[in-house]
Amino acid sequence: MKICKTCQVELPLDNFYKAASKCKPCHSAYTIAWQKANPDRVKVYNNRSNKKRWKVQKEDKDFMLKKTLYRQANRDVRIETAKRWNQNNKDRYRIHVAKSHIKRKGADVFIILDREMKALYASSCAFCNSREKITMDHIIPISRGGRHSIGNLQPLCKSCNSSKKSRLISEYKYYLAKLGK
């Protein structure tokens, strides 16, 4: 038997962690309170431990095969779950999409409204006028100091966007002219 220093209740030893002065319920309550009071430190710790775990998992061929098979077998369920989350968390999803296009730290991010995105995707390609497989392109690439804002976006088809890469429009037109010769 041992007395908990927090709740002052005498409990059997199996209700305590090894070499701990608090019982398991008190320790759990303390941990939860500390995590709520220190969210930044918890995030850093979790990121650090997750990176280590992910690195080990990526090297484990059996785990990766099992993960791939699971993802293939449950593709429809995963897509439906993601769609539901995106619809229930529109603001968080919009921010996630905006941040996912940032390729360089320190770039400015602006929220792009749904109607602006719909108008962008409804347009034809700025270079070849195709309406198939329209993607979003940064006129001034983020990697070259551009912003992720509606004023810096243009619709390009997938092939034009892939060949433009991180070029400016003038550089891309020069590239196209050289290809034509």
Report the CATH number at residue 131: 1.10.30.50
Provide the pLDDT for residue 27. Answer: 94
Q: What confidence category does residue 118 fall into, taking pLDDT thresholds of 50, 70 and 90?
A: confident
Express the helix, strand and coil content of the chain in percent, nearest 5 each: 60, 10, 30
Within-domain flag for 161: yes
Within-domain flag for 121: yes
In total, how many domains does the chain have?
A: 1
Domain encompassing residue 168 = 108-180
Grouping H, G, I as helix, E, B as strand and the rest as coil, residue 72 is helix
Q: What confidence category does residue 106 fall into, taking pLDDT thresholds of 50, 70 and 90?
A: low
Provide the pLDDT for residue 92. Answer: 79
Within-domain flag for 78: no
Q: What confidence category does residue 35 fall into, taking pLDDT thresholds of 50, 70 and 90?
A: very high
Within-domain flag for 50: no
Provide the pLDDT for residue 178. Answer: 87
Provide the pLDDT for residue 113. Answer: 81
End-to-end CA distance of the chain: 88
Within-domain flag for 157: yes
Short-list 134, 138, 79, 75, CA closest to 112 = 138
